[in-house]
Amino acid sequence: MESTHITALQTKHDGLERKLREEQARPAPDSARIQSLKRAKLKIKEEIALH
């Protein structure tokens, strides 16, 4: 069960990474959205590290 939880977290992390790249590629990236995505990615990475 724990490995499926970690897999789900990694999938979510990958999705956030994709959204982050898309936002950064825009002509006028939203810096607040970028910071929010980075914080969300970090929280997920920390949770993965705890397991």
- Report the alpha-carbon distance of residue 44 to residue 10 in Å, rounded: 8
Say yes or no to pLDDT of 51 above 90.
no
* Domain assignment present for 18: yes
In tens, the pLDDT along 4-26 reads: 999 999 999 999 999 999 999 99
* Domain assignment present for 20: yes
Question: What total of structural domains would you count in the chain?
Answer: 1
Instruction: For the chain, give the percent of residues with pLDDT over 90.
Output: 90
16: left (phi over 0), alpha (psi -120 to 50) or beta: alpha
Look up the domain containing 35 and give its range. Answer: 2-45
* Domain assignment present for 51: no
Say yes or no to pLDDT of 47 above 90.
yes
Task: Please state, in angstroms and as integers, the Cα–Cα distance from residue 22 to each residue in 3, 34, 35, 40, 51, following that order.
Answer: 29, 10, 14, 16, 29
For residue 48, the surrounding DSSP H or E stretch is: helix 31-50
Mean pLDDT of 27-50: 97
* Domain assignment present for 9: yes
* Domain assignment present for 26: yes
Q: How far is CA 46 from the centre of its chain?
A: 11
As a whole number, the mean pLDDT across the chain is 95
pTM, entire model: 0.86
Say yes or no to pLDDT of 2 above 90.
no
* Domain assignment present for 50: no
* Domain assignment present for 31: yes
